[in-house]
Every structure is written in structure tokens, then in C-alpha cells.
Structure 1
Amino acid sequence: MPKQIDHEGRRRLIADAVCRLADTRGLEGVTLRDVAAQAGVSMGAVQRCFRTKEEMLGFALEHIGERVAARTRARIAESPAQSARTTLAHTVTEISLLDEEHRAEARVWLAFVAQAAVSPGLAKIIQANYAALHGMFSRLIAEATGTPHAEREAEALLALADGLTTHVLIGHLAPQAALDVLGTHIARLLGEAADRAG
């Protein structure tokens, strides 16, 4: 009987290998040969899973987004207080990737963002990611604050989270300082809404 191969599992294995290489070398250091070696599979196995390098990189990028989304959902589910405010705070904190344990993910994400500036395929994936986050943030901000400017506030929050991630990675800000900035911004956003309501 022929050996059954878990193609989706193998694609995720290869995506993890891409991410490890991108973390240490940047995307320019990601070759099919090195990905195969890092994943412990043959070059042929990589090529059977992905027709092109661009397709492989696109899948790896989506894989990172799915990991962050799954972690965010788990954190929200574990929270004792379920509200738009807590959901917003947890989500922004997770997607900013400021914790030490997520630093490699942040480096890989920014490598993909930089590559997306010259790769329409990767740019499309990142745009879809940001559009989904923007929609969720807009909804949560509107629900938590009642502001008529929820969409604009959501854009500002996304830009702040991205910017802080970059500042931490290049050593301009310490992680705790970045988390403090993020926390202050969220508290001000939510606090101003509470003041208006009161």
C-alpha cells in the first residue's frame, strides 16, 4: 500500500522552515535548497508542495498570520472579562508582537512586509490581513467607545502597533516601554469615551 502523505502538514512544516530561515537570514536568504534542508525534506518534496518560491513565501506569510490569530483567540477566550474593551486590548497586544517570545515572529513579519513592497502577491496577502484587523478594530472601538470615528481610530491603532514593533526590533525602544506606550494609547482611547458617556 502506498505511503500516505499529509500534504497540508508538510506545507506547514515547510512554512515553519521558511520562517526560521527568514528570521536568521532575511527573505533574501531563503532558497528552496535551504528550506528543504531546514525542513528535513527533499527538494522534490518542496516543489511538489509549492509550484514557485513566491507561492511558498505566500503560504508561509499566511501561516504566520494564522498563528498570531490563533494565539489571539486563545488569549481572549482565557480572559475572565469578555467585553469589547478587553478583546481590543488583548488583540492589539498580541498583534504587536512585542513580547520576547514573539520576537522571531516579529522579525519574520517585518521581512515579509519589506518584501511586499516589491511583490504584489505578498502585498495582497498583507493588505487582506490588515483589512481584516481594521474591520475588527473598528467594530470593537465603536462598541467600546461609541465614537463616530472608529475607522480612523482603528487605522491609528494598527499603525501604532506596527510602528512600535519596528522600534523594538531595531533597539530604539525597550519592549516594556513600547507596551507602556500602547497601553497608554488604549487607555486614553477608552477613557475619553468613558468621559463622554459620564
Structure 2
Amino acid sequence: MSTELTDPAVSPPAESGSAPTRRTFIATTTVAGGAALAGGLVAVPLPGSVEAAAAETPHGSRVSLTVNGVRHTVTIDNRTSLLDLLREHLDLTGSKKGCNAGACGACTVLVDGRRVNSCLTLTVRLDGAEVTTIEGLAKGDRLHPLQQAFIDQDAFQCGYCTPGQIMSGVACVQEGHTGSAEEIREWMSGNICRCGCYVKIERAVQQTAGRK
């Protein structure tokens, strides 16, 4: 059954100078509005043309970086975030996609020893970089001290934010921001725990820093 909408039958205008029909008015204003919006210069690639294909094809780059001690060389879309590279290309799913806007910290990893939100970090900018994720902290069966501290202090519930919390906590210890409970809370404030385990996370960082 056709769903095409048609205008109701209208008698032709009695005089050539009468008001235009609705169809004529819409067609005229659409063309005029489009020309005005583009400043009078409208260039739209025809479907299937070379220009249209170029506009639809994303640009890619070849990037080499080291992740958890392993060198990777990949050719990726320039828009690929480090988080998507880790999860979708390298099968390192420990870093979590929470807000995907840099607000929750669940995707925190270390790049050249500094913590970053991997969801906001473009892979194309990391050529030659050293990346450490939660999968790269343990040495075989021996957990990183902060991973062990999270277990000792029962510093997680659902666990979704835990990888990012631990990576941020490792950086916090390395940076020396563990002088007090208040300092730890300040420097860990970019990592959100929806289960509310902040006190236990703070204790785990203190334990790792040798203050507890």
C-alpha cells in the first residue's frame, strides 16, 4: 500500500497573479533557504561520485606503540580512541568504557607513566608511546601491591570501576600524592565509584604507599 502523501485537489487559480500553491511555496523557500545558508555557494557531491566516496572514507594512520611490554603496529582510523584500540583491536578489555566522556575514570591507563583517560586519548597521537593497562600490572601470578591491597581492604563491590581506580592509585603512589588521606582523596577524585567504596579505596592506596 502506498504511503505517499499528496496534496488535495485544488482548483487552478482564477488569475495568474494570485497567491502560489503550498507546493510552489515550499519548493521556492527550500531552494532559497539552502542557498542563503551556504552563502549562495552550494556544492553537493553526487551519490557514487569520487568526491562523495572521499567524503565518506575516514582517514587512517599507521601507529606503533608498546602496550604492557608488547610492541604493536596498527593501521587505524584517525578517530580511534586509545580505549577502543585496547578493547576492540588488542582484546584488552580490563579498561572499562563507563561514560566515554572523561568524567568517570573507569578507562584510566598509564601512558609513559602518566595516567590518562583513554576514552579521550586519540591513538594517532601515541606513536612511540609506552602504555600500561590493568592487565600489565601483575608479574605472572604475583599481583601488583595495589591489586593485593584492594583485596586486603575489600575495596570493591561491583568491580566495574576497579581497573581504573587501581591504575589511578598506582600513579597516585608513584607521583607521591599520598601524604594524607585528604591528599589521596583529592588526587583520586577523578575516579568515580558508584558503589561508594571510597574509604576502602583510600586505605588500599595508603597500604601500598606504606602508610598503613
Same fold (TM over 0.5): no
**TM-score bracket for the superposition, by shorter chain length:** under 0.3
Query: Which protein is richer in strand relative to its size?
Result: 2
> Computing the radius of gyration over CA atoms, which structure comes out larger, 1 or 2?
2
* Larger RCO of the pair (alpha carbons < 8 Å, separation 6+): 1
